């Protein structure tokens, strides 16, 4: 098995550099996270507008 390359640490020690994985399906997953969040915020805005009752002067 290939040894991971060593990179110098700033304190002088040597630590193995972690390989950078390919992007794979991450962009789609980020998009999913963003869309779910936008849906949550939109639901909160709808909820907010439905129950926002301004103060009525007497």
Interacting residues with another protein (CB under 8 A): 7, 9-12, 15-18, 20-21, 26, 29-30, 33-34, 36-37, 40-41, 44-45, 47-48, 50-53, 55-58
Calpha distance 48→38 (Å, rounded) = 15
- Pick 1 or 53: Cβ nearer another protein: 53
Please report how close the Cβ of residue 3 comes to another protein at its closest, in angstroms: 14
What is the smallest separation between the CB atom of 41 and another protein, expressed in angstroms? 6
């Amino acid at each position: 098995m290939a040894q991971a390359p060593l990179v110098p640490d700033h304190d002088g020690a040597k630590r193995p550099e972690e390989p950078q994985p390919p992007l794979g399906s991450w962009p789609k997953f980020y998009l999913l996270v963003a869309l779910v969040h936008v849906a949550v915020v939109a639901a909160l805005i709808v909820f907010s507008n439905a129950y926002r009752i301004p103060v009525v002067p007497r």
